[in-house]
Each structure stands twice: as C-alpha cells, then as structure tokens.
Structure 1
Amino acid sequence: TNGVSYLHGKGIVHGDLNPLNVVIAAQSRPVRMKISDFGLSKFSYSKQLSQKKKEGEKPFEMELCMRKYWTLSEETDSLEGIKDATEDVIAAGCILFYYLTRGGHLFGNDFESILINLKEKKPVNLEIQVNTSKLLGSGFFGQVFEGKFNGDLVAVKQMTTTTAQKKIIQREMSTHIELNHVNVVKLLDVADSADNKFTHLALELCGGTLADYCQNNYSGPELPPDELVLYQIANGLHYIHSRNLVHRDIKPENILISMTTPVQMKVSDLSFVKKTREDFSQIFSQSEIRGTLQWLAPERLKVLTDNENKSTDLPAELPDGTIKSDTFSSGCVFFYFLTRGKHPFGKNQATVPANILKNKQEELVSYKQNLAADEANGRIPAGLIKLIEDMIQFEEKERIGLPEVIKQLAAVLYGMDKSKCQLRIVEASLGGNYIISSHPTELIIACAKQKKLIFYTAENLAIPFSNWRKKKDTFQHLNFEKLDSLEWN
C-alpha cells in the first residue's frame, strides 16, 4: 500500500498490479515488499506463462496473475487509456487478501467465478456464505449452518430479522464482536442476507458441544484432562464477567469444543447476554427471565414460578440479578461433564426445575453415597465434588464466585502437574506511576516491588486478577516472599 501510494503521489497509475508484480527484496534487512513493472514491461508474466504452456503446464498461480483477474475494467488487453487510480486500489485490496489468505482471491475460488463476480462487483469471499444443507444446530433465535468467510470454514448463525429480534441481534453483535479470549467463541462478522430476511453471524467453527461429548456424539480431537476442561470453562465465563457482562444461558449445549490442538473449551451463544452495572457490584437489572429452565439458578426460577402462581404478566421491574446465577449454572454443567451426562438435580429433565427450587440435589447426593460406599471406583475427586456443592448453593450469598472457582482449579492443576507449568521471570524497570488497563491475552501471574514489575508466566495456570487484591498471602504457595501483589482494577 505504501508503494502504490507513492506511485499515485507521483501521478503514476500502475494499471497492472498482481501478485507477480509484487517482489520480495530478501537481501535487505528488514525484508521489504516492492512494486515492480509500473509501465516498463507491461505484461511481464506473459513470457513466463507462454513458456509454461509450451512445457504443457498451466499452473493456477501463473494463470491467476493475468490482469483480467485483478481489475474491474472490461478492457484487459491493453494498458492504454488507463488513468483511474481506483483500479490500482482495487487490485491492491485483492492482493492484500491473496497474501493474508495465502492464495485466496477476493472475488471467487476459480477462474470462471472470479470473472463473473468481478463483472458484478461481488467480493464473495468477504461475504458470509451459508451452506444450508449442513445444519450444525438450532436454538431459540435461529439455526446454525456450516459456511465460509474469508475463504475459511465457519459456523453461521442464521437469525430471522423480524422487528422483535432486531434489538436482540444488535445486543449480541455489539457485545460479542468486542470479546477476544481463547475460551470464548470468536464472532468474526455480521451481515444481512441478500434478501434481507436473515441476519448472519459468522462464528469460529468448533468440533462439537459438551452435550455431544457426554452423549457420545463427539468425534473430534481428544479433550484435555477433566480438571483443565473445567478450568477453561470457568476462565472463559470469568472473562465475560470481567467485561461487565452476564451470560444468562450457561448449559452444555453452549460450551463448545475447539477444532484446534490442544483443544480449548469455548463459551458460546451470547443471545441472552446482559450488561451489569458499571460500579463493579456485578448486579444486573431484569425486565424478563431468559435462559433454559433446567440450568437456571433458583432465584431466577423463583421469579418465574411466583409469576405463574399470580397468573399475571411479569411486572415491569423484576428483582435485580447477579453474576452468581452464572456460577450456579456452571456448577451444574461441571457435574454434568464429570459424570458424563447427569444433572445434579435429577434424571428427569421435566422435574429438574422443581428440584432446583426445593434444593433437591438427587443425583449429586446419590453420587456421594456411592462414592462413600466404594471410594476406589469414584471418578470425581472429593475436592471437585465440594467445589461443585459450593457453586450450586441455594442461597446466592453462600455461593462462591468464579474467581474462587478458578483459584481452586488452578491449585488442583498445579498439584497434579497437569498444567505443564513453565515459569520465567522478566524484570522491567518502571518509572513512578504506572497503569495496566487491558485484559492480557495470555495467562500471567504478576507481582510488583518498588519500581520493578516481575511477571511470572505459566501455560494453563494463573491466579485470576480479581484475587490479586488479597496481597501476598495469595502467592505464598509459590514462595513469593517480600513481594507485594499487584492490585488489579
């Protein structure tokens, strides 16, 4: 782009930009990209292409460098009369896409489609393409299909754009597209369909859901150890909470399994996401109860049942909720995963909501009794059972928060040596006052002393930032003597 801009500044329109005319000056340090053949040897690729044809070859890369595949102009046999710098800009944009996708073309995937789409001015590979024959799932707001975006396979959430749903779509789009965390499904793009009947959300494609895995319908890469699966779920949800959001629909179907190696668990479906107050109280207002009945916290179910008993519409203002309703749902999901498909509040899905309201933990109690009778055959460590019990406490005020959940799981992983912990120390001199305001993209433990900041980085292991206020006693198990902890937020 810098090279093309320079040419245009000199009054020169290149007219024949294509990947073959962008050369790599490898002898320089740093390596530089250079624009070549601007009006000197106009069709430099023609000799090479002719030679390849004589040898019986017609490679895609050489054919693709013909000018007709990089211009919207219908005149492709001559450079005479080309004075519009826009042609260079369009070609440069196509070249950027070609490079970033390592060989893809903005206007199609074969010669014929590229020419057709150039003529119709349709950059199809920047559009969300939906394969409606490959249904991946469905939910309250629409269906999820396999599709393509930027030439890559994606999951496309197709939502009917009725007036009533516009607000919900806008909420999910505006909050989700800003999130960037390894344990939260990435929203790549949002666009309306050509007929304006649907809104399409292009999402990171995953290999299945936690429900698929527990129901033996999963055939993707091997999952990490159970404790690490739980840690990643809690980590993703805690990140969402750190952005002043509450999920409101945590359930096995909304925990996805990545297609990457190593596998990462990803929190998905932010259709019901709600903003919490900006005062760090972690409270959110409610005008309606959203979520799936079998996974709702008791305080949210109670609002629904109280309303049913009154036989009236929900009041305009409902009691405020807190992010600990997500903690309750997560605790139920933890038990579901560890038992490979059992809900802590019962086998019968129809009676689970009533059992939640009665605090009747049928399956959890049964599991604990069997564990006591035959401890050798118990799959779930006693410490994790206790953690789940603390997460699904009936009273909200007695329920532990996700920072404590993460802390306990991190300690379990550290003790099991399953976290592949590799610590390295980096000292950085800091002047007077300093501020760190962004959520890091990798897990870190950090301590500060005087004007030096010491970072301890560890793969799959971290003390959550919300616990840093606990000062140095938080770090005692790692022997951080005489160091003051860095306070977050």
Structure 2
Amino acid sequence: MEMLDELQQLTAKTMEKVDVAKQYDTIRELGKGTYGRVDLAIHKVRGTKMALKFLRKKTTKQKSFLQEYCISRYLSACPYIIGMYDIAFETEEYYVFAQEYAVAGDLFDIIPPQVGLSEHTTKRCIYQVALALDYLHNRKLVHRDIKPENILIFDKECRKVKLSDFGMTRIAGTTEKRVSGTIPYTAPELCEMSKHSGFLVNHSIDVWAFGVLLFCMMTGNFPWEKALHLDSFYYEFLQWQRYKSAAIPSQWRRFSPHALKMFSKLLSIEPEKRCAIKDVFWYFGKTWLVNKDDSPTPDAKTNGDVFVQIKPPSLPFSGGEALSSNKTDTSPSLSFSSCSSYEDVPKENNANAMLGSTPIEICV
C-alpha cells in the first residue's frame, strides 16, 4: 500500500504534458469507448511498438489514472501480466500511459460462439490466467474485472497470454461502493446488493469470475445472464448446487466429474467457501470434457417427466447485439460490462453480427 502510494506521488510529480505527434507515429486505433481510446503507436526514438491508452480527463480523475498505471507497473514483473513501459504523460484532453502491444488481440476474439475452444487450448490459456491471478492475490490485490476482453493474447493458439486492465483493481479488504448493473461475471453477493451499498473487496470476487470465464471458454455460452434467482439458468444451477439430488442442468452435462467438482469450488454460492485460484492447478491433469457417449442422459434425475430447457445465452460476436422479434429477454453481449469504469472496445470485423432468438430444447 505504501509503495503504491509513493509510486503514485512520484508519477504525479514527474508527469509532463506531451505532444503525441512529435514523439509517436500512430499506426492505427486499437479500440475506443467512453473512457477514451487505445492506439497502436511507434515511439520515434526507441522505435518500439506500444499500445498507448488514452483516458479522457472529463471522465477520469487523475487519482484513478495514477492508480491504474502504478498498479499495472507494480504487477508487470509477472510474465503472465501485460508489460508496462515507464511512460506516463498527459495532453490537454487525456491522461496517457504506454503498455506492451498484444499482436493477436484479446481472448474474446478467438472464442467461437456456441462452440467454445478445445479443451487443450482452454487449459493452455486458463493456466496462464490462473498464474497471473495467483500472483495478484498473493500481493493482496483483487482484479475485479476478469473477462475475455481483459485477457490479451499474442498468438491464436494461446501459447502466450497476459492479464491486463487494472482500472478496477483494489487492495483486498478495502471497502468499495457498489457499482450499478451486473454482468454474467458478477458474483451473486454483489448482484443482490443495492446500488448504493458498500462491499468488502476480497479474492472470492475474482474466483467467481474466473469460473464463469472458464465456462465461457469451453462452451462459447454464458452460464447465465445474471447470478440472480430471477435468471432461470442461474436458479437451476443454484438448485443443483444446494441440493445435490437435483438434475444436472443440461449446459453442464458436457463436463466430466472432475471438472464439475472444480466448478463447484470456483462457483460456490457462499463466497467464503470458494477455493483459492491455486487450488485449480490440480485439475489440469484431469479430463474436463466427457465424450458424447459418456455424457449423462437428458432425463437424468428428472423422474421421467418432460421438461422444457431453454438453452443458455450464447456469446454473440463482439460488437453485435442479441436481437429477437419474439423475446424481450435477449442474450447479453459479452462485451457489455456494467461493473467496469470502461466501455469495452467494439470489434470492427464483427460489427454487423447478431443473434436470433433463444432456441428451446425439449428434454424427455
């Protein structure tokens, strides 16, 4: 805490106003949002490609900028966390810092909607994310915004993956105001709080989001839209976790017993019962997906009754919206984040993609 405070104070004293055009050749815009934008640029003196993050002064306090920059620098020694350059400055409109450029984009770009990644690729990627989070948690920090868009990749096979975006990161044990809105990665204890309530920041928030992220990677679907009783997918999961005799929800039947056990530890309804990130490493030696011939039958533990199962909301192409002429409860966009201070970057290639109405699956 003291070291981060000192680093922020030092950065504030040494930060200068810079004419970007004089010191950098801007190649292209990597993304933009209400927070500002991210540009790919080449430093004219160093000749190095780097990502410049511009945070708009109108919407970002200097303290928040310094906090994100300094925490990012503090953590960047970890090989699984995005590297930082010793560059922070301001312009008339923006606060700016420079970080490592991830040539392949982010994890969201490579997750096939409604399909997911292979078990091998998922394990290779999520292992590096777990190492990054374990490093973070060992330093008493909580990321608070774990999602595919904040996991940067350097190749499509995920041989090199790094955690990024520490604008929401806080020291464990501090109290934060509840941010309005929820996304699929938001833990249930936060979803149930009022908009103006404060909450204690702890590692279990990241553990829950990590579990949801893992599900998304392997299925190309969200497990639920919001972790609230009113969400039918979450309620079904809740019943299954609380009453082990309940039927395994259809979207979870693809997972092996070992994987289901791992998910139960990551997605424990009670925060205090969630495992530490390091506890998942044991499961990497186990199979996570079952063969179709070995998967539980659709009527498992249903007493033979016919029931209707709505398929889980799918991951839309980034930048697209879930549209339906018949339903109002459309699937949420993975790039929508109501618990982040930043609006996610729209992906240009998929800007016109969209989803149809949620299909119904009849299980007997």
Distance verdict in 2 for CA 1:262–1:319, change over 3 Å = closer
Partner of 2:210: 330
In 2, Cα distance between the equivalents of 1:393 and 1:226? 21
What's the CA shift for 1:168? 1.1
Are 1:295 and 2:185 counterparts? Answer: yes
Match of 1:342 in 2: 221
**Other structure's SS at 1:344 match:** coil
Q: Secondary structure at the match of 1:322?
A: coil
Q: Show the counterpart of 2:350.
A: none
Q: 1:200 to 1:139 in 2, by over 3 A?
A: same
- The one of 190, 212, 220 equivalent to 2:87 is 190
2:36 is aligned, of 136, 139, 142, to 142
Which whole-Å deviations, capped at 9, do the CAs of 1:330-380 have from their partners, x for residues lacking one? 0000010011x21112xxx4x566539954439x822234x4xxxxxxxx5
Query: By how many angstroms is 1:136 displaced?
Result: 1.8
Larger relative contact order, structure 1 or 2 (CA cutoff 8 Å, min sep 6): 2
Corresponding pairs, count: 253
Secondary structure of 1:208 counterpart: coil
CA RMSD of aligned residues (A): 3.4
The percentage of aligned residue pairs carrying the same residue is: 23
> Normalization by structure 2: what TM-score?
0.60
Change in CA separation of 1:291 and 1:158 when aligned onto 2, cut-off 3 Å: farther
Note if 1:385 corresponds to 2:260: yes
Moved more, 199-208 or 284-293: 284-293
Once the two structures are superposed, the pairs formed by residues 235-314 of structure 1 within 5 Å of their partners are: 235-259=131-155, 263-276=159-172, 283-289=173-179, 293-303=183-193, 306-307=194-195, 314=196
* Per-residue Cα deviation, 1:14-40 (whole angstroms, up to 9, x for no partner): xxxxxxxxxxxxxxxxxxxxxxxxxxx
Matched, 1:229 2:125: yes
Distance 1:395 1:252, change over 3 A: same
CA distance in 2, matches of 1:157, 1:356: 39
Displacement after TM superposition at 1:275 (Å)? 1.3
| Cα displacement string for residues 101-128 of structure 1 (whole angstroms, at most 9, x for unaligned residues) | xxxxxxxxxxxxxxxxxxxxx9999945
1:151 Cα deviation from its structure 2 partner: 1.4
| Structure 2 equivalent of residue 422 of structure 1 | none
Q: Which TM-score applies when normalising by structure 1?
A: 0.46
Q: Which portions of structure 1, spanning 4 or more consecutive aligned residues, are displaced by more than 6 angstroms?
A: 122-126
Question: 2:222 corresponds to which letter in structure 1?
Answer: H
Taking a change above 3 Å as real, the CA distance of residues 395 and 352 of structure 1, as seen in their structure-2 partners, is closer
In structure 1, the residue corresponding to 2:109 is in which secondary structure? helix
Contact 2:80–2:163 (Cα < 8 Å) also in 1: yes
Q: Which residue of 2 aligns with 1:69?
A: none
Deviation track 1:128-164 (CA, whole Å, cap 9, x = no partner) reads 5544xx2222355222221123312222211112375
Question: 1:324·1:396 contact (CA, 8 Å) conserved in 2?
Answer: yes
Cα distance change, pair 155–381 in 1 and its aligned pair in 2 (3 A): farther
Distance 2:86 2:39 in 1: 15
> Does structure 2 conserve the Cα–Cα contact (< 8 Å) formed by 1:208 and 1:258?
yes
Describe the superposition over 1:394-418 as per-residue Cα deviations: whole angstroms up to 9, x where unpaired: 1112211112123433x449xxxxx
Aligned pairs for 1:20-419 (under 5 A) are: 127=23, 129-131=25-27, 134-139=28-33, 141-149=35-43, 150-162=46-58, 164-179=60-75, 180-193=77-90, 195-206=91-102, 207-215=104-112, 225-259=121-155, 263-276=159-172, 283-289=173-179, 293-303=183-193, 306-307=194-195, 314-315=196-197, 318-339=198-219, 341-345=220-224, 349=225, 354-355=230-231, 359-361=235-237, 365-369=249-253, 371=254, 380-409=255-284, 411-412=285-286
Identify unmatched segments of 5+ residues in structure 2.
1-17, 239-247, 288-364
Structure with max Cα Rg: 1
